[in-house]
Chain A
Amino acid sequence: MSLLEVQDVVYGAGSEKRTHILTGLSLTVEQGEVHALLGTNGTGKSTLAYLIMGCEGYRPSSGEIRFNGLVMNDLPIHERARLGITMAWQEPVRFEGITVRDYLIMKHPGTDPAQYLARVGLAPELYIGRMVDKCLSGGERKRIELASVLALKPLLAILDEPDSGIDMLSIHDVINVIKAFRTGGTAVLLITHREEIAGIADRASQLCHGKIICSGAPGTVAEHYKTQKCELCNPVECHYV
């Protein structure tokens, strides 16, 4: 049994759910596996992430999402979190009046927040007392979100473009964080556009037209992705090229 099983999931958006975002998507993530998800803009990567996390308004029209064998289509977000799933959003929100320290230890007050800041390349003494608010840059906020996900020690972390907004010189910090998840036994569903980030995954899948069209070794999938070999991707039928 896989840790996460997404089976034949269909999801539509808009009025009467007529805009089909996912069209029968199937995907598995194994225990402790880093699984990269590649795909052009608008193919449904973030939608899949929201469906797995159980965000408001994101429930499959059909198909099943199972975690450790449990069908969780109708579970609210916090119950999924308590099963061991969490997520770092592509653009993390800001919070007034909440310090970085409180944010990192919110669910596990006994933990040492400094170690998690250090792991994402932030000096604890400079950040621990700051607020998780508008005074942080996008990149700083992103790193703090990654640190908070690390601190949760989840079974599955969904990372939606963890490298976006991170400066070029610090990409290795993101790579180290993903490796830290793996070392700690956390499986990662890694949404990214960067080949170098996807390259550290154990496995990768390519999403196109709301379906997984290719899975396998990251290098192989990345090559497939670059050459756009989706059979639906022709100028007549495909809206994504």
Chain B
Amino acid sequence: MSDLEKLMQAFGEAGGSVGALADAGTAHLAASSHSILSSRAVEGINVDAKETGSGISARILVREGVKLQRPVHLCFGVLHKEGTQEIKMDVTLEKNSSAAFIAHCIFPNAEKVRHVMDAVVDIGEGAEMRYSETHFHGPYGGIEVVPKLAVKVRKNGRYFTDFTLTTGRVGDLAIDYSVEAGENAVVELVARVFGHADDNIVIQEKVVLNGDNARGLIKARVAIEDEATAEIRGITEGNAAGARGHVDCMEIVKDRAVAKAYPLVQVTHPLAKVTHEAAIGSVDKRQMETLMAHGLSPEEAVDVIVKGILR
């Protein structure tokens, strides 16, 4: 079986759409460890990827006015027990373009794997990007995931991202996202993570609302059990008239796990407004009682609540 076939098999098992990668009308990029296994561009989008010594480097450009009808599929992974994968991404959406990206990051056998993502994204005026990243990890926890993202959203631009790591062991996760929003821009960052054993989760997400009427939402949903730890830092700055930001963090803690949340809101303009809410603790008692009054056992009720917040 070729490396591509192995990656596709793991991709399919992880819930990815293998058919989408075979579809001639769908752009994609697939890489295993340091090797680019497959890539395709479609009309209106350039995908320029090359291998580096430690991973891959890719430039993706969506041209002005192009609205991609089908999502761009990204599939990254390390299928071996050990290895490093460093991905450098440079994504540009030109004026009034729009594109959705679905990324799957697959590490089913990781015992000593490091996955580093360093991405720079430029959302042009009136452009919209949706980026959904889902991780599929194995049961060993020997993985370090370090995604770093710097995004600039220009006037009337929109940027939505969704990070999910709820399958397998998290390992060590250190998310570092930073987004600058211009006039009338809209930003939404959502992260969902379920940690077990001695997993260590650090999520730092920052939204800087520099343009008038820019809007930002940071939403983190984390559940941890056993001895796992989580630290969530949601930072929002409101620096312009009409800017509106909100930080919403919820962490459910079981067993001996330890959770921290640091919402940091800063306003430098009298007409800006930033709010935050954080809830950390065991599963909500009233939610538990309601589900148990429906006949669910305490364990089933916890399961339903945790799955719900991570959905």
Contact = CB atoms under 8 A, between A and B. Distances in A.
B287 interface: yes
A216 to B, nearest CB: 29
A125 interface: no
B289 A56 contact: yes
Interface string A80-116: 1110011101001101111000000011000000000
A39 B296 CA distance: 32
A187 to B, nearest CB: 16
A97 B308 contact: yes
A81 B298 CA distance: 12
A239 interface: no
A93 B295 contact: no
Nearest to A80: B293
Contacts of A190: none
A78 interface: yes
Contact of B285 (A56, A107, A148): A56
Nearest to A89: B290
A95 to B, nearest CB: 5
B89 interface: no
Given A78-B295, A86-B294, A95 B305 contact: yes
Nearest to B221: A96
A134 to B, nearest CB: 11
Interface string B278-294: 00000011110111111
Contacts of A98: 304, 308, 311
A136 interface: no
Given A56-B289, A93-B287, A78 B297 contact: yes
Contacts of A85: 293
Interface in A48-68: 53, 55-56
B241 interface: no
Interface string B298-311: 10010011011111
A87 B294 CA distance: 8
Contacts of B287: 93, 95
Contact of A77 (B284, B289, B304, B310): B289
Contacts of B298: 76, 78
A121 B24 CA distance: 48
- Most interface-central of A53, A98, A148 (chain B CB within 10 A): A98
A217 interface: no
A215 B284 CA distance: 37
A106 B309 contact: no
Contacts of A53: 289, 293
A152 interface: yes
Interface string A131-167: 0000000000000000010001000000000000000
Given A56-B285, A56-B289, A77-B289, A107 B308 contact: no
Given A56-B289, A93-B286, A93-B287, A152 B294 contact: yes
Nearest to A93: B286
A81 B309 contact: no
Contact of B293 (A86, A95, A96, A97): A86
Identify the interface centre among B289, B295, B304: most chain A CB within 10 Å of its CB: B295
Contact of B290 (A76, A93, A96): A93
B309 to A, nearest CB: 5
A130 to B, nearest CB: 14
A200 to B, nearest CB: 23
Given A56-B289, A95-B305, 5 more contacts: A76-B292, A77-B292, A80-B293, A86-B294, A97-B307
Q: Which 7 A-B pairs have the closest CB atoms?
A: A97-B311, A97-B308, A78-B292, A81-B295, A77-B292, A93-B286, A98-B308
18 contacts: A55-B289, A77-B289, A77-B293, A78-B292, A78-B293, A78-B296, A81-B294, A85-B293, A86-B295, A92-B290, A93-B286, A93-B290, A96-B250, A96-B309, A96-B311, A97-B311, A107-B296, A152-B294
